[in-house]
């Protein structure tokens, strides 16, 4: 067994693993940010309903 090849292989695996963890961390941060923005949008919609309760509650459709 060649020690140099084994060392390079293990180093490559460790680098790929670290890259995967970093990408997962970025993905989780983006998902968290998106979730926070959705909550803010929902809060804004709730505020509008508290000021104007009739807005958006009824839909009249004529055919």
pLDDT in tens, 21-60: 999 999 999 999 999 988 888 887 777 777 776 666 677 7
In a domain, 60, yes or no: no
In a domain, 57, yes or no: no
In a domain, 5, yes or no: no
In a domain, 16, yes or no: no
User: Domain total for the chain?
Assistant: 1
Under a CB-based contact definition with an 8 Å cutoff, are residues 35 and 28 in contact? no
In a domain, 29, yes or no: yes
Q: How far apart are CA 42 and CA 16, in angstroms?
A: 39
Under a CB-based contact definition with an 8 Å cutoff, are residues 16 and 10 in contact? no
In a domain, 15, yes or no: no
State the residue range of the domain holding 37. 21-47
Give the pTM.
0.57
In a domain, 14, yes or no: no
């Amino acid at each position: 067994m060649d020690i140099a090849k084994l060392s390079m292989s293990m180093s490559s695996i460790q680098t790929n693993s670290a890259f995967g963890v970093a990408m997962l961390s970025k993905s989780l941060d983006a998902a968290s940010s998106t979730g926070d923005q959705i909550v803010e949008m929902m809060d804004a919609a709730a505020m509008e309903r508290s000021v104007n309760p009739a807005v958006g509650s009824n839909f009249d459709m004529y055919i």
